[in-house]
Structures are given as C-alpha cells and as structure tokens.
Amino acid sequence: MNHQELKDFLDAKAAKYNHPNFIATDPIQVPHLYSQKENIEIAAFFSATIAWGNRKSIINNALKLMQQMDNQPYDFILNASSVEKEKLRSFVHRTFNGDDCLFFVESLKNIYQNHGGLEIVFEKGFQIEKTVKSSLTYFFEIFFEIGGERTRKHISNVEKGASGKRLNMFLRWMTRKDKSGVDFGIWDGIPTSALMLPLDVHTGNVARKLGLLQRKQNDWKAVEEVTANLRLFDPSDPIKYDFALFGLGAFEKF
C-alpha cells in the first residue's frame, strides 16, 4: 500500500473500533460507570494499571476493585479508615497484589491532597518539556515520593526506556476528544496531537507488518518511532490509530 492507501485503510479501521460498541470489550468500560471527574480518573487509572493479560480477567478484577472501594473510589481514597482499606489486602491481579493496591491508595491520596489531583500532576509534567515523556517522568517522581519500592514495577519508568503502554493508554482515555464516546476527553492541558501510542504486543506486531515500526523491541524508542509515523496520517490526532492497530491485532488476528 502507498501512503494514501495505508491512511485510508487505517482511517477505516480506526472508525470501526473507535465506536461505543468497543466499550463493552475493553477495560475502559470500568471508568464509564462513573460521572464524577475524580471517580472517572481513579477508576481509569486503576483499570489501566492492571491492563495486561486476559481482557476478561482485567475487566472483572477492575470491577471487583471498584466494588471493594464501595464504587466510590475518590471518596474511598480520601476518607477510608484503616479498617476499610484492609479490604484491599486480598486483591490480586497477576503480580499486582493487595500491598500494591494499598500503596496506590496512599499515593493517590497524597496526589489529590497535596498536588491538586492526577490531572494537575500529568499536565504539570507535560509543561516541563511539552512532551508526554516529561509528563510520565514527572508523574513517576510524584507517585513514588512517599516510598513504594516494591510497587515501582507497576508504574512504567520511561526515563529507563519503558514503553509506558498503560500510562499512555490512560492519557488517551483522559485526553482524546472526539464524538465517538469511547475516550473521555476530560483533561485539557495535554493536546491530543502530543499523545503517544500505547504500544503493546498487538499494536507493535501490526505496526511492523504495516511498515510503521522497524524497531524490534517494544520500548520507548519504538513508541517514538511508530507515533512519528502515525502523525504523518493525522498530526492533530495520531493516537486514534491505536483503535486501528489494536483492533487489527486483537480482533482480526491481522
């Protein structure tokens, strides 16, 4: 395919999967249960954090975690007693366990009480270099300013070359604005044009088959390479093609 043919192909696939029907198949359904901004953010953050492995298991465990927070995650993080928090001790999703969960609660409480909330932290980090990389780097620093050595493996450190798949997916959910109703678009401080591809096995393999990615490993350099190529098709909204690449890989076995 030439450039225009590939653009037309990706545009069609993005439109196919960037559709309300997609929500029921994806962890994004969990934050869609909420209407309050902070509840959406927190539900999205936890759901994105555990988004690896079997999709059904991810969704079920994210829903279970919200239930353990009485389906009021923002109120729970700010006000839960130590006894109420102990309910989270039993949570487990793959290597993310109750100890990690409890640290997340304490770190998010620190972020909302002392840093203005998740939106402010990510957007303040973005302003440092006007890049998502600086946003994710700053967020990592703030998230672990209260400790949490054991839990560091669950938040990508892009400064050390991690792809940041789940954090980039979370930013897509919070930042992308369109009329499809899938992504929330409730944050204004990071432009859609600056977003980076949530690179995983599906999107990486499809991108390589389409000639959009040469790098072999799925790391931050690969994220930069493939996102730069996607910007050639739509500079203002390159990450709409996440729907195309993921849909082709996960649903069409491209």
- Look at residue 46 in the predicted model and tell me its pLDDT: 97
- Look at residue 85 in the predicted model and tell me its pLDDT: 96
- Look at residue 113 in the predicted model and tell me its pLDDT: 98
The per-residue pLDDT for range 3-18, each reduced to its tens digit, is: 999 999 999 999 999 9
Q: From the centroid of its chain, how far is CA 139?
A: 13
Q: Which of 93, 132, 126, 212 is nearest to 104 (CA)?
A: 93
Q: Is the pTM of this model over 0.85?
A: yes
- DSSP secondary-structure letter at 176? -
Q: Is-contact 161 220, C-beta < 8 A?
A: yes
Q: Is-contact 198 241, C-beta < 8 A?
A: no
CA distance 28 to 51: 10
- Taking the chain (254 residues) in runs of 10, the rounded mean pLDDT of each run is 96 97 96 98 97 92 97 98 95 93 97 98 98 98 95 94 97 96 97 97 96 97 98 98 96 92
Q: Which residue spans within 91-232 are E strands per DSSP? A: 92-93, 96-97
What are the structural domain ranges in the chain?
A: 3-250
CA distance 9 to 223: 21
CA dihedral (163, 120, 45, 139) in degrees, to 10, reads: 40
CA distance 227 to 235: 10
- Look at residue 150 in the predicted model and tell me its pLDDT: 87
**pLDDT above 90 coverage of the chain, percent:** 96
- Look at residue 53 in the predicted model and tell me its pLDDT: 85
- Look at residue 245 in the predicted model and tell me its pLDDT: 97
- Look at residue 1 in the predicted model and tell me its pLDDT: 87
